[in-house]
Structure 1
Amino acid sequence: MAASETRSDNTGETEEPRGDEPARVTVWVRGEVQGVGFRWFTRAAALRVGGLVGFALNLGDGRVQIVAEGTRSRCDLLLEWLRSGDTPGSVEGVTEIWDAPRGGYRGFAIR
């Protein structure tokens, strides 16, 4: 089904396209991603995408963890940027887990 299509359930009611469903993605980025402004650029990318809340956090093992909530399509756009090679530093790998949003975030924070 194309992202612009809608789905119908057995009652005949129309559902929102999958890309517009609320989503949460937790991402771990490994490589040279600390001390290069990676969290700040990630926040800027999230704000550029729009409609995302969450945070970016340096982990003790050298990775950056990112949690973003918004629509699936907007989270996908942030994930695409993280994998694009247009990030600061040097990204060696990106791992993500998708889940239902939990809420509780105001804006996109640097932690």
Structure 2
Amino acid sequence: MLSPVVEPGRFSELDQFIFESWGYFVILNVLSPKEITACLEASQRVHEAAGTQDFGQVGRSYEQEAVLEDLMDHPAVLPKIRGIFGDRFIVQSGWNTKQPAHGKMGGWHQDGSSAYDFKRLGYPIP
């Protein structure tokens, strides 16, 4: 059975097919356990400084924490973004979201300014 899991790095024809078929793809193990710990600790510092309780969002945390900035052009992910959008795209926002376990906020949704025309993928829009 076809799976939405793709390899990190280069955007391939298979990646394109999966994205057009599913509306998304999954890149497993992008971050190492050490990187995950560093990002979590950085996020906790950001939210502690902001006084976030339960659910909350802090903008531009990548300006305060280098490990969060590194996520923006991660070599496992950036080629995929370029494969979908080309070289002319904008990272519109950088919210660092804190959500309690089993929280009701969020869920699967499309963020941003609709830079990608998702109705090209099929109906209903994924």
Richer in helix (by share): 2
- Whether the TM-score (by the shorter chain) exceeds 0.5 is no
**TM category, shorter:** under 0.3
Relative to the length of structure 1, the TM-score reads 0.28
Q: Which has the higher contact order (CA 8 A, sep 6+)?
A: 1
TM (normalized to structure 2)? 0.26
Max radius of gyration: which structure? 2
